[in-house]
């Protein structure tokens, strides 16, 4: 059955799998909704996207995605409010960042309407897949990869842009124990760390596995030159509260310009908290842990929103963070998720009704 939604052609599945899904016990990014948005780049341009049944992709073995890592992605969430409205959070920022990543990875930039109208059409078709349960959401994964062929290390001439969605529960269970990295790193000066490039994540897996073997869940990334500056927490930005000041590293070509991070900065400032965007060293954090002025650390990203850190390891020493009654992490997480799910006013204009 072909229909049009927001000018986007929709080909509906005749076999929904929604009845197989246990919406009360959702993992993260594990089951996929009935449809996906599909859009191809060939003959020098992006062709109109379509909503199609979620299903397998067929590629030539010489497709460049398999060889040269030409792939980028985004991560977003959709919520449903009490009235059944579908809500997104700052979706245009994801679109813009996708194109920033595209440029750095020599992938042709995508037209805004293909992204926004395509996404909206997809969400309308799969609206029943958006979980209503507290703490759950429909995780949205836009991604682009090289389908063009050839064993030649040069940009592909064909690409595929897809959006797939997954009803999801929490990303992490509980508080994190993290390891401050002294040897490995996730990005180079002049590299692709600021882009959501597939290759950045594969490179993190092995160091993270080593950290997991030592009893931690995530790595805190430091700069690749001195390992003295704190940059990110796994695939999240990082915030550190010393006394009553909330500190986060400035973005750079090594650090992703996280939408959660910048929302937290704005929100915290509006709430009268003291926020400083500045480079922060491992030595400062260790000293603050030792003298008791280190109050909180947390990761910030779309998947986990805010993920409190319970303690960290550094050079064979373990440091625990205090258990506070009222945390900035808890306060900010509630404020952001309330805005996201339409439980309060949105003075910033971040909420986006589909």
Ligand X SMILES: Cc1ncc(COP(=O)(O)O)c(C=O)c1O
Phi-psi bin for 192: left (phi > 0), alpha (psi -120 to 50), beta? alpha
Nearer to a second copy, 163 or 289 (CB): 163
3-class secondary structure for 78-119?
EEECCCCCEEEECHHHHHHHHHHHHHHCCCCCCCHHHHHHHH
Contact mark string toward ligand X, 248..287, x via CB under 6 A: --------x-xxxx--------------------------
91 touching ligand X, by CB under 6 A: no
Beta strands at 305-314 and 76-80: parallel, antiparallel or unpaired? unpaired
Minimal distance, residue 154 CB to ligand X, in Å = 13
Minimal distance, residue 272 CB to a second copy, in Å = 34
Minimal distance, residue 136 CB to ligand X, in Å = 17
Helix (H) or strand (E) holding 44: none
Most distant pair of Cα atoms in the chain: their distance: 66
Minimal distance, residue 79 CB to ligand X, in Å = 15
Contact (CB, 8 A) for 199 and 101: no
87 touching a second copy, by CB under 8 A: no
Angle at 351 between CA 142 and CA 116, to 5 degrees: 35
145 binds, among a second copy, ligand X, none (CB under 5 to 8 A by kind): a second copy
Which residue of 65, 87, 294, 329 would you call a contact of a second copy, by CB under 8 A? 65
188 touching a second copy, by CB under 8 A: yes
How many whole angstroms separate alpha carbon 134 and alpha carbon 106? 40
Sequence-distant (6+) residues with CB within 8 A of 264 are 239, 248, 300, 306, 332, 336
Q: How many CB atoms lie within 10 A of CB 39?
A: 22
258 binds, among ligand X, a second copy, none (CB under 5 to 8 A by kind): ligand X
Which residue of 47, 132, 133, 152 would you call a contact of a second copy, by CB under 8 A? 152
How many whole angstroms separate alpha carbon 271 and alpha carbon 333? 13
| Binding segment (CB under 8 A) for a second copy, from list 83-91, 183-191, 304-312, 321-329 | 183-191
Contact (CB, 8 A) for 7 and 82: no
Question: Among residue numbers 162 through 221, which ones bind ligand X (CB under 6 A)?
Answer: 196
214 touching a second copy, by CB under 8 A: no
Question: Among residue numbers 71 through 90, which ones bind ligand X (CB under 6 A)?
Answer: 75
237 binds, among a second copy, ligand X, none (CB under 5 to 8 A by kind): ligand X
Phi and psi, residue 43, nearest 5°: 50, 40
109 touching a second copy, by CB under 8 A: no
Which residue of 33, 71, 168, 237 would you call a contact of ligand X, by CB under 6 A? 237
């Amino acid at each position: 059955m072909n229909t049009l939604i927001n000018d986007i052609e929709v080909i509906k599945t005749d076999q929904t799998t929604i009845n197989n899904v246990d919406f009360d016990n959702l993992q993260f990014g594990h089951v996929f909704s009935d449809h996906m948005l599909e859009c191809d780049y060939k003959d020098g341009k992006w062709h109109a996207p379509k909503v199609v049944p979620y299903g397998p992709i067929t590629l030539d073995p010489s497709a460049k995605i398999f060889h040269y890592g030409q792939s980028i992605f985004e991560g977003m969430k959709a919520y449903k409010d009490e009235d059944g409205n579908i809500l997104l959070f700052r979706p245009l920022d994801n679109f813009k960042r996708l194109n920033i990543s595209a440029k750095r990875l020599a992938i042709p930039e995508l037209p805004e309407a293909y992204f926004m109208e395509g996404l909206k059409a997809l969400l309308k078709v799969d609206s029943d897949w958006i979980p209503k349960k507290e703490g759950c959401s429909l995780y949205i994964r836009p991604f682009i990869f090289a389908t063009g062929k050839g064993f030649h290390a040069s940009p592909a001439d064909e690409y595929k842009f897809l959006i797939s969605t997954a009803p999801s529960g929490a990303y992490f269970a509980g508080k994190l124990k993290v390891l401050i990295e002294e040897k490995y790193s996730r990005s180079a000066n002049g590299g692709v760390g600021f882009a959501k490039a597939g290759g950045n994540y594969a490179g993190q897996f092995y160091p993270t596995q080593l950290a997991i073997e030592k009893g931690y869940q995530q790595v805190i990334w430091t700069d690749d030159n001195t390992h003295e500056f704190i940059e990110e927490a796994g695939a999240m930005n990082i915030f550190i509260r010393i006394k009553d000041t909330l500190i986060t590293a400035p973005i750079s070509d090594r650090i992703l310009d996280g939408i959660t991070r910048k929302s937290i900065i704005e929100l915290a400032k509006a709430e009268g908290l003291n926020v400083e965007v500045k480079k922060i060293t491992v030595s400062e954090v260790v000293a603050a842990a030792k003298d008791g002025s280190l109050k909180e650390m947390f990761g910030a990203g779309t998947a986990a929103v805010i993920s409190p850190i319970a303690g960290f390891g550094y050079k064979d020493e373990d440091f625990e963070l205090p258990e506070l009654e009222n945390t900035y992490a808890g306060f900010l997480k509630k404020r952001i998720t309330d805005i996201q799910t339409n439980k309060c006013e949105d003075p910033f204009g971040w909420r986006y009704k589909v």
